[in-house]
Amino acid sequence: MSIERCAYCGKERPSEEMKSAKIIFRDRHPGGKAFVNSKVNRYCADGPCAGNDQMAHEG
Q: How far is the CB of 53 from Zn ion (least distance, A)?
A: 9
Q: How far is the CB of 33 from Zn ion (least distance, A)?
A: 33
Spatial distance between the Cα atoms of 16 and 29, rounded to a whole number of angstroms: 36
The nearer residue to Zn ion, 4 or 25, going by C-beta atoms, is 4
Residues at the contact surface with Zn ion, assessed by CB under 5 A: 6, 8-9, 44, 49
The nearer residue to Zn ion, 28 or 39, going by C-beta atoms, is 39
